[in-house]
Amino acid sequence: MFAEEGPLLLNSPSSNSTQDFNHFLQCTERPTGPLFWSLFCSISFLLGFSASLIVLWELLQRCRHGAFNDIFMLNLSFIDLTFTVTLLPSVCNYMLLHIIQVSQTSAFLQGLPLCGRPLFMACICGDCYFAVVHPIVYKTSKNVNMIRKIASVTVWLITTCFGSFLIILNEPFTTPLISAPLILALPVITFCDISVLRALRKPDPSGNSNIHPQKKRALHIIINSFIMTFTVYLPPAIFFSFAEILPMTKTDYFCTLTFYGMCFWIAGCVIMPALYLDTLGKMDLFKAWLRRR
């Protein structure tokens, strides 16, 4: 359990202005975590904003053709773009401005990558599972698009509630509840990924050795979900799930592990667009340039 200490104030709308200001000064004597987070946010903004814009443009162009998984990916790209735009204002507010309203808005928007991204990734993996494992039902069903829309609306409602929860919770990053969306999404992602990989390993009954484009795309999606799971989703889930049993004060936890833990889901706004662009073959020139180096 955390050592006893004065209250750690994080975005509590009920606290007065002096207490709110103390939240920004919490790590004055431990600046390494906030400085690392600030630098990481700046780099992620530079890389993620342009990548998310390109992905969003590609998706809008492909959306007219009803491309595989584009509805969920469109929502996921909107989350990445929205969250990326808020990175620099959040850094400026925490380091310089100290405006509690901006801090509360940032807390709400943190629900996008924390809750929306893993849930939409689970939807993408689920869609991929039915397309590969149950292709006949998937292709003949007339309700696929309606199910996608209902799932998208449901995820947005959950994400909105989760963002509101981050505002009203006094200590959001010192409670296992912060990892609930991640923990819920991980079993779905794992089951669907393993099922799809097993299905793709089976030989084609027609004897054709070439991989169908849809199956090749599904394979890319599964690989991407594995990368996202182990680099973006799993580390913060572990960090925040076991926060209360760490032998350190709340201030030490907030000023060290919290800032480093946030960097994992911030990295997702760069990794996810890059993986999708690679799936579309848009990263070939960049990879060729790296090989020449």
Number of domains observed in the structure of the chain: 1
CATH value at residue 136: 1.20.1070.10
**For position 1, what pLDDT does the model report?**
46
Q: Give the pLDDT confidence of 82-119 residue by residue, as tens digits.
A: 999 999 999 998 888 888 888 888 888 888 888 898 99
Fill in the DSSP letter of residue 66: T
Say if residues 125 and 225 touch (Cβ distance below 8 Å): yes
Domain annotation covers residue 45: yes
- Quick: pLDDT tens for 207-222: 555 556 667 777 888 8
Q: Which two tokens stand for residue 150?
A: 């209902």
**Surface-to-core class of residue 253, CB atoms within 10 Å of its CB (0-12 exposed, 13-18 middle, 19+ buried):** buried
Would 12 be classed as within a structural domain? no
pTM for the whole structure = 0.81
Domain annotation covers residue 73: yes
Coil, helix or strand for 11?
coil
Q: For residue 6, tell me if it sits in a domain.
A: no
CA distance 126 to 196: 10
Averaged pLDDT, 61-87: 80
Tell me 12's DSSP state: -
As to burial, measured by CB atoms within 10 angstroms (0-12 exposed, 13-18 middle, 19+ buried), residue 6 is exposed
C-beta neighbour count of 209 within 10 angstroms: 7
The answer to whether position 245 is within a domain reads yes
101's CB contacts (< 8 A; 6+ apart) are none
The answer to whether the beta carbons of residues 155 and 112 sit under 8 Å apart is no
In a domain, 42, yes or no: yes
Average pLDDT of the residues in 227-244: 80
The model's pLDDT over 12-45, given as tens digits with 9 standing for 90+, comes to: 333 333 344 456 677 878 888 889 999 999 999 9
Is 9 contained in some domain? no
Residue 44 lies in a domain: yes
Contacts of 278 (CB under 8 A, 6+ apart): 220, 287
23-26-32 Cα angle (round to 5):
130
Confidence of residue 172 (pLDDT cuts 50, 70, 90): low
Residue 135 tokens read as 């292709």
Q: Which domain holds residue 273?
A: 17-200+212-286
